[in-house]
Amino acid sequence: MVAAAAAAGATTSLPGAAAADTAAGVSRGHTYHVATWGADRADGTAAHPLRTIGRCSELVRPGDTCLVHRGRYRERVAPPSGTKDAPITIAAYGDGTVTVDGTKTVTGWRDAGDGLVATDVDLPLDPSENALFVDGERAMEGRWPNSGPDPLNPSWAVAERTSTDQHIDDPDLPAGDFTGATVHLWAGSNPWSQQTGTVTATAPGALDFKGGNYRCTPLCMGDQNYRNYYLVGAKSTLDQPGEWYYDKDAKRLYLVPPKGGLAGHTVTAKYQSWGVDLAGSSYVTVRGLDLWGTSLRTGDTSTGVLVEGLRARYISEFSTLPMPRDDELAIPPFEGHIVAARVLGSGVQIRGSGNTLRDSDIGYSAGTGVLLRGSGNTVTNTYIHDVGWMGSYTPGIEINGSGHTVTRNTIRRTGRASIDTAWQLNGVPFHDNRIAYNDLSEAMRTSRDGSPFYVCCNLDAKGTSVDHNTVHDADGQVGYYIDNSSGNFLLHHNVAYNTGSRGTFFNGHSSVSLGNRDHNSTYGLGVSTAVRLSGATDASGTYVSNDVALAPMEISGPGDPAPVVRSNLLPPTDPGYTDARNGELWPREGSPAIDAGETVDGVTTGVRGAGPDQGAYEYGAPIWSSGCNLPGCQSRVRNDGWKATPSDGTDASAAVDGVQTTQWKGAAAQAAGQSLTLDLGTAKTFDRLSIDAGMDATGHPYGFAVSVSDDGSHWGAPVARVGGRSFTQDAVFEQRTARYLRVELTAPGEVPWAVNEIRLYADGPDAAATLQAEQATSVRGAERGDAATGVLGSGDRIGFRGVRFGAGADRLTVRLASAGCGRGCSLQLRLDAPDGRVAATLPVPDTGSTDTWEERSVALPRTVAGTHDVYLVATGGPRVAAIDWLTLRR
């Protein structure tokens, strides 16, 4: 799986912390201890703990606490309600990981012939929602064509053009009986939805199926632009270790065992959908728990629930995409609403009103990452990743209702959108929501029609603000997509780069686009059109100003009245970005955007100089950042000007130029041995390579290996091998530090391979990147703002966990502000611990005020290489400096 997703959970409670967490006016209740070595007949003291969280849940009353010691708890946790002044708390004690596990061990395996083993077991979930794990790794349900372990890198088969809406012709289809299997379709002239059906008959090279939504075109198999499909859930697909099939009629589970057999291996199956079930609970705090193979939910009447420090893995699993139930729809049923399949039945669910999810790590879901439904709920500082791989409208965060707050989240690697609101489920009102400071990337992994931030349709967003978000490196059509006549969306101070054809799109869709606004946004590389408004018969109140872009705007068919479009900085003027290749789009000194904007009430605040700047960043102010500050939230490797050399001698600079809309394509059809070699300029540390083929659904490599080298001449064995026909493909391997990297094809293909961009990732930040102080893993002694810290006094510090130096850094640069500290104030760069060795000391100047920012640098006496925790520690006075950002480079 993706290494970035393996980061440890963000929050663990200290011993006794939950019991001491009562605020003034909140009654202090009784504390019970729970431990795997306890007994439910015990009194729940630290010396005589209870055995199960369930027993503790039976005993607690408002104000009480269950402190849970390290261990794995295979049970359903469903505490009663507390009260506003006396919540009930379920919290990790702090002596190790506490896991609520929704799986059970499967035993009784016997030989079943044909290289299979089987056992008779009654799995309680719907057959389409079963999940199996071998030695703690997700096992793939039997499928054709075979696919690797990452469900966001699916291998697709491609049907012949002779196929029809309920029939597939494919000469590559292997012999076997697939009757009853699920066929997953991504097909049509413009497939904005994926569908599933059931195979009804098979023949050599052909099959019939029933299902989908019969919408031809644009969503059907046949003589279409896209004819992608795969099969899952048939015994005849079992042909590689780890694949499984459940015969629901015979209640028999089949498995292809690991090489050497099952001896010494553990198999578990999912038994519990909701390991922490708060559907009937209010005023409950859940702190520091892990979830495995199960999820958490609140209910429609829940209020006052706080979930923090949650680490959830494999929260939802399913293999079919049924139409939502009629009672789940906010508008009359219609076949096109299949796009909303499973949105309401998957993910970590925060329903009700006034509930909060924060400081958490949510990963691996076939469907939604987090569902926000009701009113006045909050999701903040949470890392959400590897979700929505079935390709319906299940996003990283689904927002339904009004008054919600979604801030400071990092959402990465989603099948479709990062943040979505589905009108089929939401209804027309979408009022007073705040969606801000979120970082959305690597979206649209299993689809193309959509965007990281997606709104559909006809929503009235009165009072809603979408601001200070960053979208990038996504394979949809748009960055911020306000689709099909939705109105009253206020977008401002947003950033988009490498999002495909458009940065922001207000789609009137032959109707209206009312009250939509985009102010002070910044659009970088990999965006063909900065802002598009089209198809609106009436654009009253729609207003675009103060935007900065490297691409033009497209305002077509706006109707009467037309939108207001003015005071934007567009080509051919160079906006003077700091480093567009790496998404650092704030203006340099002398940028024409400085002081060139118009005043927009409620938007252009915090002005420096003679007037507002154009774009998302105000020159002279701290540089704001987006995303969470937990481990895993920062992972991209900085591109310092990489070079790519293909074996066919063509110019491959487009593969590493930082521009997703440019493409390198091989000179001939794919063949084993073709290669692309990257020179990173200096050694970098990485554990994931992503090959992005952009919107091209045909140019992906059919198989490749990745090798690394220190000198570009001596190459060891490949560190990863990837097969299949996924649109965007990842190779994941143990962390390496190297200057050179080679991608070599291992399989033939019908067309040349295409690369729009190669990106590298690893856990933790790249030292050469700009490390934003407000994104520090830890801050002590100062407030963490939206764009900087408050003033650090002597002994105060900020820290970044797992910073990757690669071949090394020998210079520290800090952007800081200070006033009145006097001589002797400094910032110490310490490694590995707050009191670790001092790698450099940076004298702090008096900049004139704590709101006047300067960049100061100092050489490191010794080059720092490898991976280190990094701390910047203030010394010399009670008010040393406020910190905006720092870099560590050569």
Q: The CATH number of the domain where 829 resides is what?
A: 2.60.120.260
**Residue 57, φ and ψ in degrees, nearest 5:** -65, -30
The single-letter code of the amino acid at 70 is: R
What is residue 519's three-state secondary structure?
strand
Say if residues 85 and 26 touch (Cβ distance below 8 Å): yes
Q: Which contiguous run of DSSP H or E holds residue 201?
A: strand 195-203
Strands (E), 317-469: 348-353, 356-358, 361-365, 370-375, 378-380, 383-387, 397-402, 405-407, 410-414, 419-422, 434-436, 439-441, 453-456, 465-467
Say if residues 546 and 568 touch (Cβ distance below 8 Å): yes
In a domain, 249, yes or no: no
Same domain as 554, residue 673: no
Burial class (CB in 10 A: 0-12, 13-18, 19+), 172: exposed
**DSSP letter at 174?**
P
| Alpha-carbon 412 to chain mean position | 2
| Alpha-carbon 476 to chain mean position | 15
In a domain, 254, yes or no: no
In a domain, 871, yes or no: yes
Map tokens 């193309």 to a residue.
448
Same domain as 877, residue 748: no
Determine the pLDDT at residue 698. 78
Distance CA 440, CA 410 (A): 6
In a domain, 130, yes or no: no
Convert 125-155 to b/e letters by CB count within 10 Å (16 or more is b). beebbbbbbbeeebbbbbbbbebbebbbbbb
Same domain as 784, residue 750: no
Distance CA 129, CA 273 (A): 9
Give the domain CATH number at 434. Answer: 2.160.20.10
**DSSP letter at 50?**
B
Determine the pLDDT at residue 697. 65
Same domain as 439, residue 382: yes
Map tokens 């906010």 to a residue.
330
Count of residues for the chain? Answer: 890
Same domain as 786, residue 745: no
Q: Which contiguous run of DSSP H or E holds residue 58?
A: helix 53-59
pTM score: 0.96
Convert 739-749 to b/e letters by CB count within 10 Å (16 or more is b). bbbbbbbbeeb
Map tokens 């892990």 to a residue.
290
What are the structure tokens assigned to 78, written together?
Answer: 């469903």
In a domain, 738, yes or no: yes
**DSSP letter at 199?**
E
Same domain as 816, residue 671: no
In a domain, 649, yes or no: yes
In a domain, 626, yes or no: no
In a domain, 52, yes or no: no
Determine the pLDDT at residue 427. 80
The number of domains in the chain is 3
Map tokens 């686009």 to a residue.
513
**Residue 451, φ and ψ in degrees, nearest 5:** -165, 165
Distance set, CA 72 to CA 69, 98, 669 (Å)? 9, 6, 51
Phi-psi region of 110 (alpha: psi -120 to 50; beta: other; left: phi over 0): beta
Same domain as 807, residue 742: no
Strand 495-497, strand 554-555: pairing:
unpaired
What are the structure tokens assigned to 498, written together?
Answer: 């490498």
Say if residues 823 and 870 touch (Cβ distance below 8 Å): no
What are the structure tokens assigned to 102, written together?
Answer: 């929704």
Say if residues 224 and 187 touch (Cβ distance below 8 Å): yes
| Alpha-carbon 480 to chain mean position | 16
Close Cβ partners of 654 (under 8 Å, ≥ 6 residues apart): 662, 663, 664, 755, 756
Say if residues 563 and 591 touch (Cβ distance below 8 Å): no
Domain boundary among 543, 565, 587: 587
Mean pLDDT by runs of 10 across the 890 residues of the chain is 37 36 54 98 98 98 98 98 98 98 98 97 95 97 94 93 94 95 92 93 96 79 91 96 97 96 97 98 98 98 98 98 91 86 96 98 98 97 98 96 98 97 86 98 91 94 98 93 95 96 93 95 97 92 97 85 94 98 97 98 95 98 97 95 97 96 95 98 96 79 95 96 85 97 95 94 96 96 96 97 95 96 92 97 96 97 96 97 96
Same domain as 457, residue 438: yes
What are the structure tokens assigned to 786, written together?
Answer: 């939206």
Domain boundary among 761, 796, 819: 761
Distance set, CA 419 to CA 287, 414, 462, 471, 503 (Å)? 25, 10, 18, 11, 15
**Residue 750, φ and ψ in degrees, nearest 5:** -75, -20
What is residue 236's three-state secondary structure?
helix
Distance CA 272, CA 576 (A): 54
Same domain as 554, residue 471: yes
Determine the pLDDT at residue 214. 67
Which of 12, 52, 60, 48 has the alpha carbon at shortest distance from 36?
A: 52
Residues spanned by the domain of 653? 643-761
Same domain as 779, residue 740: no
Q: How many CB atoms lie within 10 A of CB 41?
A: 9
Same domain as 709, residue 732: yes
Domain boundary among 761, 782, 816: 761
| Alpha-carbon 255 to chain mean position | 31
Same domain as 468, residue 502: yes
